């Protein structure tokens, strides 16, 4: 007698799990170019959170080579992988100090230039 309710509950749970996995969407991080520009500008202005910045520099961007190159430059700045010192922590809500923000401004200028020079369409 106890077997029937256990079987029904297990069946309903299994069906719910199968439906969730079938129709669910895998969470992905796919920022667009304008979102990355806004993120870098927010870093310069001190309006983004450390968690937003950590997500950007911590997750590879596989759908856009230009954005991945920008992310790698930012990781290099953050970690000091280019032979220079790592960027220092800023004060008063800024993630980086003034020197780090100047380096980010240069990366942002390069990104703006690359966006302007890139073709609108690509041939595959």
- 101-120 pLDDT tens trace: 999 999 999 999 998 888 77
Rounded to whole angstroms, what are the CA distances from 44 to 15, 80, 94, 114, 116?
Answer: 49, 19, 8, 19, 21
- Give 66 or 121, the one with higher predicted confidence: 66
Q: What is the mean pLDDT of residues 47-74?
A: 93
pTM value > 0.85: no
- N residues, the chain: 124
pLDDT score recorded for residue 122: 62
pLDDT tens-digit map of 3-39:
899 999 999 999 999 998 888 887 788 999 999 999 9
Say if CB 111 and CB 36 are below 8 A apart.
Answer: yes
Q: Is 89 helix (H, G, I), strand (E, B) or coil?
A: strand
Using the CB atoms, write b or e for 38-56: b if 16+ within 10 Å: ebbeebbeeebeeeebeeb
CB 57 within 8 A of CB 74: yes
C-alpha to C-alpha distance for 24 and 2, rounded to whole angstroms: 33
Q: How far apart are CA 52 and CA 54, in angstroms?
A: 6
Mean per-residue pLDDT over the chain, rounded? 89
Strand partners, 96: 89
Helix, strand or coil, per DSSP, at residue 62 = coil
Q: What is the pLDDT of residues 41-60, one digit of tens each?
A: 999 998 999 999 999 999 99
80 pLDDT more than 90: no
């Amino acid at each position: 007698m106890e077997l029937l309710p256990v079987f029904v509950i297990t069946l309903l749970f299994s069906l719910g799990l199968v439906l969730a996995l079938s129709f669910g969407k895998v969470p992905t991080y796919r920022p667009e170019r304008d979102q990355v520009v806004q993120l870098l500008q927010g870093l310069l202005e001190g309006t983004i959170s450390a968690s937003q910045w950590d997500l950007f520099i911590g997750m590879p961007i596989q759908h856009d080579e230009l954005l991945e190159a920008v992310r790698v430059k930012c990781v290099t700045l953050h970690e000091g992988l280019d032979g220079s010192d790592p960027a220092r922590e800023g004060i008063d809500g800024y993630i980086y100090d003034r020197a780090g923000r100047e380096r980010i401004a240069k990366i942002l200028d390069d990104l703006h230039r690359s966006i302007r020079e890139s073709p609108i369409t690509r041939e595959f």
